[in-house]
Every structure is written in C-alpha cells, then in structure tokens.
Structure 1
Amino acid sequence: MFDVGHRGGGASIVLATSNDQKHPPENMIDGSEETFWTSTGLYPQEFIMGFGHMMDIQRVNLSSYNIRHIQVEKCTSQDPTSFEPLVDRDLPQTDGQLQHEDIDIKTQATYLRFIIDSGYDHFCAVHKLNISGNALHG
C-alpha cells in the first residue's frame, strides 16, 4: 500500500467549499503537516478528493484541527456526482494540538468526499490527508 491521495501521485482536490489563498486545499495532500487547508467559517465544509481512476482504499489518516464531526463518502463513477456514505465520526477535542485520526474504510473509489458538519471553533483546518491503498488495474 502507498499514499494514493498524495498530490505527487496524481490525486487532486477537485472541490473545496473554502479557499484561502494562503492555505489552499492542495496543502492537505502535499505530504506535510506544516502546511494546511483552512475553512473560512460556517459549517458544513466539504472537500472532494479525486484519484483519476479506481483505487482500492484501506485507510484514511487525517491530521486536523478543531473538527468536531466528519463524514466520509465514496463515489465509484468517472464523475463525482453520486456518493455513498462510508464513515460518520466524532473527533475528540485536543486543546490546541493536532487531531490524528485513523479511519479504516476498506473500499474501492474514484472519489472521496469529506463533509465536516461541525467544529470546536468557527474555523477548522486539515493539515495532512493520507489515503492508504493501491491502484486497481484492469
């Protein structure tokens, strides 16, 4: 398995509800916890990651800040139009520290949608998103 969600491997953020020029959505998939994407207020917030083709996904590792509740959904079509729920999770408050959440999902998808329903503050951030899996061939 490798990080199929890394920007260098062809993954991209195809949609994000917030876009701050200093903290763009692409920062989530650059492999660094030093850079991040931040919301610009209000909930829900969401972003969609595209892989370019079908992936066999095992786990999502999320490093974030101030996320109270998140949902993960998948899409298996060529266009990100129809999503199925995978995970509905509350994250613990970490008092100024990054939240590190491992989410086992074991699925196949061409897109993953992340919906942040609520946060511990007006703003939240995703520092690093690692998607463990493999490309499906054939």
Structure 2
Amino acid sequence: MKDIALDVSGAKVQVYTGQHNLYPANHILSSAESFWVSCGLFPQIIEFTFQGLSNVTEIGIHSLYVKRVKLFASTDNKSTNFKEVIISDLSSGEGRSQNETLYMDPQAKLKAKVLRLVIESGYNHFVGIYHVKVMGTLPGESSAPSTFSAGQLGIQQSEPEERLSRMKTLQQQKKDPTSRNGFIPTTNI
C-alpha cells in the first residue's frame, strides 16, 4: 500500500470550486509544506483522479478549520456516478491542524478512480487542506504493505503558529472588501 493521492503517484486535481492564487488546489498532492486555501464560501469541492481504478484501504485528511466534510467515490470519470462514502464532522483543532482518518477498511472494498471531497462548513471563513491521504493500490500493483505516505516522508511542516498567522492574514483580506489580494473564485469543471 502507498499514498496514491500524491502527484508522484499520478494523482491529479480534476475539479475545484475556488482557490487562492498563492495556495492552489494542486498543492494538496505535492508537499506537506504547502496547502490549498478556500476562497471563503461553502461548499467547496475538490475532485482527485487516480491513474486507474484503485483499491482504497484508508482515507485521512490533514486540514485546518474544516468542520463538516463529505466524501464520495466514483469508479469511472463520469461526474454523475458518485457514491457517498462518509460524512464526517471534524474536531475544531482550536487553531491547530486537524489530522483525522475519514475512512478505513483493511479489505480494500472501496474501489475508486475519482474521489470527491465536499467541504460543507468550516470553523472559519477560510479552510486549508494540507493533504488528503489515500492509502491503497493502483491497477497492477501489489497490496503488500509499504510505509510510503506524504505524512511519513519526513518533510518538516510549518509550525502551527505560522500556519495560523497565514490563515488570519487571509481572513483579514476577506474582511476588507477593497483588498481582494489574490482571491480567484473559480470553477474548473
């Protein structure tokens, strides 16, 4: 098993509803040093595609200020064939990053080509996602255990105070309607 939601594993962000230009959605797939920041509206949707139909054993989220999240999976690329996997209310984290497991099944009964993450609400106007860990196997790979995951690469993360400071700066920009510094509400569908 490995983290298949990394750009080095061939994962792509297919759809997103909004982003800050300094913290784009594809940051979720690359480094624990970076993150995606919402544009301040809910719901927010991010869809990930994998190289092929994958067997998924675990899905976790490393985030900030996310309150309620829904997770859907599809076995093909059609956006009408999603099945609900889970609805989860995350703990507030009190300004610290949230690391929570959303789904776990050692038998890997969940098959997915596309995962849709819907953030329905947050503890703040802005939410951030550092990574969505999806442990599983891609087509043609062995299901033998592996220790490879974004959270286990040894990449040093920013201190919680630094991340909180960046989120507060973004919140101040939201309060000042004349300061739209970098916010790009978009739909990439």
State if a TM-score over 0.5 links the two structures: yes
Q: Where does residue 109 of structure 1 map in the other structure?
A: 112
In structure 2, what is the Cα distance between the partners aligned to 1:78 and 1:39?
Answer: 24
Q: Where does residue 27 of structure 1 map in the other structure?
A: 27
Superimposed CA distance per residue, residues 42-83 of structure 1 (whole angstroms, 9 cap, x where no aligned partner): 111110000031000111121100011000000011333321
Q: Where does residue 79 of structure 2 map in the other structure?
A: 80
The Cα shift of 1:21 comes to 1.4
Sequence identity percentage: 25
Moved over 3 A (4+): 78-81
Superposition RMSD in Å:
1.5
Structure 1 residues 1-138: aligned runs within 5 Å: 1-32=1-32, 34-106=33-105, 107-137=110-140
Q: Which has the higher strand share?
A: 1
Number of equivalenced pairs: 137
In structure 2, what is the Cα distance between the partners aligned to 1:104 and 1:44?
Answer: 21
For structure 2, list consecutive stretches of 5 or more residues without a partner in the other structure: 141-189
Q: Which has the higher helix share?
A: 2
Q: Structure 2 counterpart of 1:19, which letter?
A: Q
SS in 2 for 1:61: strand
Q: Structure 1 counterpart of 2:74, which letter?
A: C
The Cα shift of 1:102 comes to 1.0
The Cα shift of 1:109 comes to 0.5
In structure 2, what is the Cα distance between the partners aligned to 1:3 and 1:76?
Answer: 18
Structure whose CA Rg is larger: 2
The Cα shift of 1:130 comes to 1.4
